[in-house]
């Protein structure tokens, strides 16, 4: 198959380029094609003529989106629409990366793919509106929702915790938000399988299991052999510009229906720490 990845120089994009084997893969950065520009997107798709397009390009600074709403929608919604229109013209299949932030976090059981979207942040709204538009343009596209993404080569929660833990005797971390940490390597491998199996519709793709940010941080510190004390605090004690879902665990049923299993978040974290150590 011929694969075109938009956002290949980003956090997930680099993992996709590294993990994708046995197919003809072309990675495009924003320098190659700015997804906000419909003509650039169309030209890129006409030039590469892919069987599958993976749209990993996005504006993912959740707090930054609150203060830069126009840019958030231009990239995450309108840019996605440009890619979908180009895919439709070329007859390419499309996989779009979406987020747990399309939900409001009021459930206490894992979110299913058909649960109502009710985003509480600009970032979440931009992704939710993109999902709706893409399903109108390409009803058979694949929307892969993920959560709490981290990996080597970019700013992420584990990296921040490790840097802080190296210089502080204690850390306060929010304990009333719950989700599923997801390692870019595992997400990339699942995306490869989804495309190779011709997946369509909405699929929830996260590492298995769930935890709070506090529990995640505690495990990061423990697995790294650090002695830093990690203390639980409430969201109210750490106000942020963008509202976070209190509970955004995504049900794995849709992924299991595609006969794909994801490793546990604990196993993924150990492999991330090994990879991080080898990179330094």
Q: Is residue 143 pLDDT above 70, yes or no?
A: yes
Nearest to 226 by CA among 144, 154, 171, 175: 171
Per the listing, tokens 């990996």 go with: 151
The 10s digit of each residue's pLDDT in 178-217 is 999 999 999 999 999 999 999 999 999 999 999 999 999 9
Q: Where are the domains of the chain?
A: 2-154+181-208+248-263
The 10s digit of each residue's pLDDT in 7-36 is 999 989 999 999 999 999 999 999 999 999
How many Å apart are CA 24 and CA 21, to the nearest integer? 8
The 10s digit of each residue's pLDDT in 26-75 is 999 999 999 999 999 999 999 999 999 999 999 999 999 999 999 999 99
- Looking at residue 279, its pLDDT comes to 80
Nearest to 181 by CA among 93, 115, 271, 63: 271
| Residues annotated as catalytic (active site), given as ranges | 123
Three-state DSSP class for 250? strand
Mean pLDDT, range 96-122, rounded to an integer: 98
Mean pLDDT, range 231-251, rounded to an integer: 95
**229: which strand partners?**
170
**pTM, full prediction:** 0.97
Inter-CA distances, 162 with 14, 40, 178, 203, Å: 22, 39, 20, 31
Q: Considering the domain 2-154+181-208+248-263, what is its CATH architecture? A: 3-Layer(aba) Sandwich (3.40)
Percent of the chain with pLDDT over 90: 96
- Reported as a pLDDT band with limits 50, 70 and 90, residue 155 is confident
How many Å apart are CA 220 and CA 74, to the nearest integer? 35
| Average pLDDT of the residues of the chain | 97
- What Rg, from alpha-carbon coordinates, does the chain have? 18
Strands (E), the chain: 2-6, 24-28, 52-55, 93-99, 142-146, 149-150, 170-174, 178-179, 182-183, 201-204, 211-212, 229-233
Q: Is residue 133 pLDDT above 80, yes or no?
A: yes
* C-alpha triplet 136, 121, 150: angle, nearest 5°: 90
Nearest to 86 by CA among 6, 149, 13: 6
Q: Is residue 280 pLDDT above 80, yes or no?
A: no
Q: What are the structure tokens assigned to 118, written together?
A: 């009710």
Asked which of 184-193, 237-246, 261-270 is least confident by mean pLDDT, the reply is 237-246
């Amino acid at each position: 198959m011929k694969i075109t990845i938009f956002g290949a120089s980003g956090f997930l994009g680099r993992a996709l380029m590294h993990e994708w084997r046995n197919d003809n893969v072309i990675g495009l950065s924003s320098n190659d094609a700015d997804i906000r520009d419909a003509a650039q997107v169309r030209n890129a798709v006409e030039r590469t003529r892919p069987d599958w397009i993976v749209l990993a390009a996005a504006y993912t600074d959740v707090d930054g989106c609150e203060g830069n709403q126009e840019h958030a929608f231009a990239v995450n919604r309108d840019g996605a629409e440009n890619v979908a229109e180009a895919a439709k013209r070329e007859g390419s299949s499309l996989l779009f990366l979406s987020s747990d932030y399309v939900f409001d976090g009021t459930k206490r059981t894992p979110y299913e793919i058909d649960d109502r979207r009710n985003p509480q942040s600009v970032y979440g709204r931009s992704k939710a509106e993109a999902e709706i538009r893409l399903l109108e343009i390409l009803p058979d596209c694949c929307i892969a929702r993920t959560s709490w993404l981290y990996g080597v080569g970019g700013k992420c929660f584990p990296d921040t915790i490790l840097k802080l833990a190296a210089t502080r005797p204690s850390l306060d971390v929010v304990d009333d938000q719950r989700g599923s940490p997801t390692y870019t390597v595992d997400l990339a491998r699942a995306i490869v399988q989804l495309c190779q199996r011709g997946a369509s519709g909405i699929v929830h793709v996260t590492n298995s299991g769930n935890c709070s940010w506090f529990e995640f941080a505690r495990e990061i510190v423990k697995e790294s052999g650090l002695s830093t004390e990690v203390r639980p605090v409430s969201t109210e004690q750490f106000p942020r510009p963008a509202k976070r879902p209190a509970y955004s665990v995504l049900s794995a049923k849709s992924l299991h229906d595609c006969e794909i299993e994801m490793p546990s978040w604990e196993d993924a974290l150990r492999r991330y720490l090994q990879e991080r150590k080898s990179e330094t």
